[in-house]
């Protein structure tokens, strides 16, 4: 990682630099701007998904993370559809991961819009629409996609986009209705008018039903509501002003004073906080008379539970899905996932979920995996950090993991990417000792810079201004021993930082 950017394979990319026009595909047909919604805490897939590393930033069913897979769906142009680089809406805490993940799959974002706080999808999409208007393209088509969904048949998805585009260009707001594979109770439903043509008027949206009602909905030909939309930016802003004027005003105020730092776009925090928290479905789609739907059967799943992940992952001959270190004997129809936890040995499980991380283990019947929220609530009530912070904490320079702690001490493993460097900082209440395990470190303590290698160590006294850098081509790994009366992460004063994290 370079001093001013994030590593992208063999080269570097400056996340602060706006993309030049030449870095976008020239448009020869219908031009579409993908808008990737990358917010959310992802608690339904706890303990793997946490607030600092939600499911959209995880590789769940494929080699790519869900965000990467979503971006790649619109990375290839065709004769009838041309896609711009994506706009991404995310929280401040995820901005480095978002950019880095997209760079690694060759999908540099056109802009990263940082929501000051979560206010649901209606305000988020409005910010993206304003961004397009400010870029001189108020009538650009926006393809709004959650970044934590799976689509098995991407050809069908692209065909549905092509079907929807003429209606969207004419001012309609188009949603995509998923052909149900079962009478699911975990999704909302869409009822269309008539059954002729690829684009139909929406008669109504309905909430998640009970099982009996879901059976009736499927029998009537109703569709699942996937929360994927296509419309012009101007059409959405006009509908929002009519259907939810309080949302439109708050977003207008926040965008008017937005800060722009290259590709980073930050709306005003206080102004955005005044916005009601409301979904695009409630705010606009259910209230507007200009809504259409395109039915599509594209192997869609929102991966909303461990059971849902089991269903979309190819099982072995016994119906088991296993990932990571473990052994199953006499088990059937179970999901076992080990992400940095102890070896998992399972005997005689049937229809179960076992998920192990470095700091937590979940054991539950698959059929009850929708109830994980109750587990998360209990953990939060007990005051644990297990729902907010991952065992492996990511930072723009690399990551760290706690190996153990006691009264007045803590031991961490720190990994710094090639070219990465921590901020120039100091601690008021703790001292640190760094021991290099592999790689080469450049350590600055006060005015002294020193290079240390494997087996060498250095002491950082309380209050000393210091910095850690990895100048080499290989990752740097070291052990950090902290000692002091307070060891919290908030005992840090950043004096300078290449990633823009100083006050």
The low-confidence residues of the chain, meaning pLDDT below 70, are: 1-28, 195-196, 503
Beta strand residue intervals within 29-179, DSSP E? 30-37, 81-83, 87-91, 111-115, 141-146, 150-151, 173-178
Cα separation of 45 and 312, whole Å? 14
Q: What is the DSSP string of 139-167?
A: T-EEEEEETT-EES-HHHHHHHHHHHHHH
Q: Look at residue 7 in the predicted model and tell me its pLDDT.
A: 27
**What per-residue confidence (pLDDT) applies to 500?**
84
Per-residue pLDDT at 220:
92
67-87 core/surface letters (b: 16 or more CB in 10 A; e: else) = bbbbbbbbbebeeebbbbbbb
Q: Are the C-beta atoms of 435 and 457 separated by less than 8 Å?
A: yes
**Helix (H, G, I), strand (E, B), or coil: what is residue 95?**
helix
What class, spelled out in words, does domain 33-301 have in CATH?
alpha beta
Domain edges within the chain? 33-301, 306-381, 396-496
pLDDT at position 11 is 31
pLDDT of residue 151: 96
**Would you say 267 and 254 are in contact if contact means Cβ atoms under 8 Å apart?**
yes
Contact between 62 and 149 (Cβ < 8 Å) = no
One CATH from 2.60.40.10, 3.40.50.300, 2.60.120.10, 1.10.150.120 for 396-496: 2.60.120.10
User: Which pLDDT belongs to residue 1?
Assistant: 30
Contact criterion met (CB below 8 Å) for 141 and 168: yes
Could you tell me whether strands 200-206 and 291-296 are parallel, antiparallel, or unpaired per DSSP bridges? antiparallel
The predicted structure's pLDDT at residue 503: 60
Pairing mode of beta strands 424-426, 493-496: antiparallel
What pLDDT does residue 502 have?
77
Task: Report d(CA 468, CA 460) in Å as an integer.
Answer: 11
Sheet containing strand 398-406, strands side by side: 392-395, 398-406, 409-416, 476-484, 430-438, 457-460
pLDDT on residue 320: 97
């Amino acid at each position: 990682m370079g001093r001013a950017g994030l590593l992208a394979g063999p080269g570097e990319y400056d996340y602060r630099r706006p993309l030049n026009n030449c870095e976008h595909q020239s448009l020869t047909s219908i031009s579409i701007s993908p808008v990737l919604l990358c917010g959310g805490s992802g608690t339904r897939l706890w303990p793997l998904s946490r607030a600092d590393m939600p499911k959209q930033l995880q590789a769940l069913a494929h080699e790519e993370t869900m965000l990467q897979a979503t971006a790649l769906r619109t990375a290839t142009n065709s004769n009838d559809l041309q896609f711009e680089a994506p706009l991404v809406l995310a929280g401040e805490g995820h901005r480095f991961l978002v950019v880095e993940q997209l760079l690694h799959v060759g999908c540099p974002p056109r802009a990263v819009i940082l929501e000051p706080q979560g206010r649901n999808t209606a305000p988020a999409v409005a910010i993206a629409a304003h961004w397009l208007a400010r870029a001189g393209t108020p009538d650009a088509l926006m393809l709004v996609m959650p970044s934590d969904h799976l689509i098995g048949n991407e050809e069908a998805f692209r065909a549905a986009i092509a079907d929807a585009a003429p209606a969207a260009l004419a001012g309609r707001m188009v949603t995509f209705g998923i052909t149900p594979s079962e009478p699911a109770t975990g999704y909302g439903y869409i009822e269309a008018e008539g059954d002729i043509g690829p684009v139909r008027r929406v008669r109504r949206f309905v909430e998640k039903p009970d099982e009996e009602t879901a059976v009736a909905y499927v029998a009537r030909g109703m569709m699942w509501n996937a929360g994927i939309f296509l419309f012009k930016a101007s059409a959405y802003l006009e509908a929002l002003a009519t259907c939810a004027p309080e949302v439109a005003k708050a977003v207008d105020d926040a965008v008017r004073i937005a800060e722009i730092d290259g590709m980073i776009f930050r709306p005003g925090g206080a102004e955005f906080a005044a916005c009601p928290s409301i979904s695009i479905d409630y705010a606009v789609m259910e209230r507007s008379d200009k809504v259409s739907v395109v039915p599509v059967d594209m192997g869609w799943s929102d991966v909303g539970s461990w059971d849902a992940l089991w269903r979309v992952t190819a099982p072995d001959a016994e119906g088991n899905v296993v990932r990571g270190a473990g052994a199953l004997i006499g088990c059937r129809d179970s999901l076992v996932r080990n992400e940095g936890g102890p070896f998992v040995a399972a005997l005689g499980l049937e229809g179960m979920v076992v998920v192990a991380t470095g700091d937590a283990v979940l054991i539950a019947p698959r059929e009850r995996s929708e109830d994980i929220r109750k587990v998360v609530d209990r953990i939060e009530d007990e005051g644990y950090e297990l729902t907010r912070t991952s065992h492996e904490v990511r930072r723009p320079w690399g990551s760290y993991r706690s190996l153990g702690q006691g009264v007045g001490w803590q031991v961490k493993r720190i990994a710094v990417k090639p070219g990465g460097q921590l901020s120039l900082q100091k601690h008021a209440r703790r001292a640190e000792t760094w021991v290099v395990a592999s790689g080469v470190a450049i350590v600055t303590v006060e005015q002294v810079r020193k290079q240390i290698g494997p087996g060498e160590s250095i002491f950082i006294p309380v209050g000393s201004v210091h910095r850690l850098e990895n100048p080499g081509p290989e990752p740097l790994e070291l052990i950090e021993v902290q000692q002091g009366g307070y060891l919290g992460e908030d005992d840090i004063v950043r004096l300078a930082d290449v990633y823009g994290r100083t006050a």
